[in-house]
Amino acid sequence: MLRIRRIYDDIVPVNREILRQVKAILQSRFSEVPAEEIDLIGEKLRNPFKQRFRSILFVAENLRRRVLGFAMLLHEPQIGFCFLDWIASVKGKAGGGIGGALYDRLRREAVALEAKGLFFECLPDDFEACPDEALLKENRARLRFYERYGARPIINTRYESAVKPEDRCMPHLVYDGLDLIKAPTCSFARKVVRALLERKYADYCSPAYVTKVIHSFRDDPVQLRPLRYVKPEAVRATVTSQSDEQIVVVINDRHDIHHVHERGYVESPVRIRSITAALMPHGLFVEVKPRKFPDKHLYTVHDADFVNYLRRACREVDEKKSLYPYIFPIRNKTRPPHEPSVLAGYYCIDTFTPINRNAYPAARRGVDCALTAARELLEGRRITYALVRPPGHHAERRSFGGFCYFNNNAIAAQYLTAYGRVAVLDIDYHHGNGQQDIFYRRSDVLTVSIHGHPDFAYPYFSGFKEECGEGEGEGFNLNLPLAEAVDGAAYRRALEKALRRIADFKADFLVVALGLDPAKGDPTGTWSLNAKDFEANGRLIGGLGLPVLVVQEGGYRTRSLGTNALHFFKGLSFAAQRWAESRKVAHERLQGIQLRYEMQPEVPGRIRHLVEITGFFSEEEIDMAEELAQERLARAAASGYEFVMAEQYGRLVGYACYGPIPCTAGSYDLYWIAVHPDVQGKGLGQRLLQETERLIRDAGGSRIYVDTSQRLQYASTRAFYENAGYRLDAVLKEFYAPGDNKVIYCKSL
Ligand SMILES: [Zn+2]
């Protein structure tokens, strides 16, 4: 069986392994691709706008996770097109339908991205252009394949003209109109070609070549080659459906053994049944059976004596009998009582959560479900759902209560911390005291809870906004207690606040403790959220773009549980898709930045540290950065070096260094701009550049020059200057090293 899957990042281990296989296929199939570029794939996925194309990777894998093929799609959101960078299958697998499945998938993706066309290059299928018989045969097969989708080479342009005299067999630029068979307009095609040649082939094409090719696009619309291999009626241009990814659901298959028959015990088996009845017929979900995980995971968040007590007490209590705590020995914690019923109060926070024969095995299985769902995230799923009961978010490190025994979400969060930073967002009506207690002194797990104020809502003793973490964990717990009457709009305002905190935390994974008890009519709550509100909440959360593990907590109005859960997931999945499609570098405003201009004795060392930490410069360059600052310190303006330094809360986070070029009338060199990795992508580089330009203008300067390398690694540097209005003035071939050209940008002020 073949599965096409999108790979979002190289953070989770399974994706790292997938990427390793992709790179191996690339190396074996495209021997001319430089190793440097192959190594960049992971970085491109994590930091998709680095080269002003968003890279989207799809793999075709079998059930044993062997990659049989892959495709890399580049998306250009401003101009609005996609470019198929690579599509390949493992050797010996060509023609097994892998290429077709991948191509279908990325056409759907391109449509979902609202791209106005899918472009790619194909080697020529004419004997004059490609005299190699074997290659010619291959090229013909390829173009025949694409013709079935209506995709054909653009003709009557000089796109195929040689860059270097020795170039042979230059590729066609092929256009797939996706839903439309119509050819693109001339101006659109020119923009596309400029973007491709200037960004993707910057190393290869001279500015003169680029201009020549662009100006050769004169037909409007551009001409597509007539179909050569396929009859017009055989072309299937329409794209069937948009991209969607299923949500994995792990259901506690032993939940119903835990059935407390006492009146008013609303935490009952029908809860799960009403949710599954609404979810499972929907194609959005796929069920995965829970796997067994060892007890050690319990001990990572719960005290061993508490776990052992629960296990033993449940085993020892009479069948069909429930033991309720009624004495709470809060004073002398070091001396646990012996009488079992009294001991229950030693570990429990309330009088309505019983010890009984089946509580332990049901809760233990719930833990397996939460861990299975977490595991699925590590295997590359984007949204997983542990549909469990009993719930868990009231279970603390050493106590149970509120219908909860083990803290499922905290155990799963702890499990994920081995792979990245985790935020737990509790959206149950009741405060998530359990995970708050468990992670209270830690900064690697952020806990956030939106709930009814403890003045009137369970658990009454925690959930106040002053509780914000302790020690290392200070600032890593956020409580948002709300009033007794809350509607959807008021709830969303709190949720947005919670999500901003989570975004600031830069989580790698999000665990959502999903309570459906904020719903209108819930017997344990006072709020009035309806299905549309749950959908809106899901959308807001999905907008974070994180891999999400949802763990079921409370929610007791069985009539609306299913529809509210379904709406929540619809919103979550929709927003997660949109996010993946429109991902942009966030331009958050930087707070607390101050610019300084005076060189102080401690600054050269701080500049050295800053330049080093960017990881972008060589040892010699780092030395040079410090030397320039020393020079300025020693000789002031006579050094010819001017500095602009940006500090944030006293820390040097960026700087620019520039100076007049001797013997010129008003020309300046910009020697250096560096920004601390913590604040990159937030516009500080731009601000430093603008400030530098202002200072130069004020000093009577009229032109600024910047040197950089033409190597691929510097594509983002070049893009930075291009976006700021700098234009390419000269290319000095092989300046830095063989194959490493120097490019000079200039801006007139
Ligand atoms: Zn609740």
**Residue whose C-alpha is closest to residue 265's, from 163, 166, 356, 378:** 356
Q: Band of the pLDDT at 584, cuts 50, 70, 90?
A: very low
What is the pLDDT at residue 346? 74
261 is catalytic: no
Give the residue-averaged pLDDT of 234-241. 68
Question: E strands within 90-180?
Answer: 118-122, 152-155, 172-176
- What average pLDDT does the chain have? 88
- Evaluated on CA atoms 580, 582, 587, 588, the torsion sign reads negative
Express each pLDDT in 688-717 by its tens digit.
Answer: 999 999 999 999 999 999 998 887 777 778
Look at residue 368 and tell me whether its pLDDT is greater than 80. yes
CA distances 92 to 62, 136, 142, Å, are: 15, 19, 16
What is the pLDDT at residue 587? 40
The catalytic residue among 255, 258, 297, 394 is: 394
Structure tokens that stand for 356 in this block? 């009984």
Instruction: Kindly tell me the burial class for residue 627, based on how many C-beta atoms sit within 10 Å of its own C-beta (0-12, 13-18, 19 or more).
Output: middle
Whole-angstrom Cα distance, residue 365 to residue 645?
A: 57
Distance from the CA of 514 to the center of ligand 1, in angstroms?
9
Express each pLDDT in 29-88 by its tens digit.
Answer: 887 778 888 888 877 777 666 567 888 899 998 878 899 999 999 988 888 999 999 999
Look at residue 581 and tell me whether its pLDDT is greater than 70. no
Express each pLDDT in 171-195 by its tens digit.
Answer: 999 999 987 767 899 999 999 999 9
Express each pLDDT in 445-468 by its tens digit.
Answer: 999 999 999 999 999 999 999 999
pLDDT over 70 percentage in the chain: 93
What is the pLDDT at residue 1? 67
Express each pLDDT in 543-578 by its tens digit.
Answer: 998 999 999 999 999 999 999 999 999 999 988 877
Distance from the CA of 78 to the center of ligand 1, in angstroms?
45
Distance from the CA of 293 to the center of ligand 1, in angstroms?
26
Express each pLDDT in 123-171 by its tens digit.
Answer: 999 988 888 898 899 899 999 999 999 999 999 999 999 888 888 889 9
Q: Which residue has the higher pLDDT, 710 or 537?
A: 537
Distance from the CA of 459 to the center of ligand 1, in angstroms?
10
Distance from the CA of 555 to the center of ligand 1, in angstroms?
6
CB-based contact 595:645 (threshold 8 Å): yes
Q: Band of the pLDDT at 243, cuts 50, 70, 90?
A: very low
Report the range of poorest mean pLDDT among 172-186, 584-598, 733-747: 584-598
Whole-angstrom Cα distance, residue 198 to residue 538?
A: 40
Whole-angstrom Cα distance, residue 684 to residue 13?
A: 33
What is the pLDDT at residue 139? 93
What is the pLDDT at residue 94? 58
Q: Band of the pLDDT at 324, cuts 50, 70, 90?
A: confident
Look at residue 475 and tell me whether its pLDDT is greater than 70. yes
Structure tokens that stand for 48 in this block? 């998709």
Distance from the CA of 553 to the center of ligand 1, in angstroms?
7
pTM over 0.85: no
User: How do strand 67-76 and strand 54-61 relate by DSSP bridges?
Assistant: antiparallel
> Which residues, at least 6 apart from 465, have a Cβ–Cβ distance to it below 8 Å?
479, 480, 481
CB-based contact 527:242 (threshold 8 Å): no
Report the range of poorest mean pLDDT among 4-13, 249-258, 510-519, 578-587: 578-587
What is the pLDDT at residue 504? 86
Give the residue-averaged pLDDT of 521-538. 96
Q: Which residue has the higher pLDDT, 108 or 96?
A: 108
What is the pLDDT at residue 115? 87
Structure tokens that stand for 25 in this block? 């296929």
Look at residue 27 and tell me whether its pLDDT is greater than 60. yes
Look at residue 378 and tell me whether its pLDDT is greater than 60. yes
Look at residue 213 and tell me whether its pLDDT is greater than 90. yes
pLDDT over 90 percentage in the chain: 56
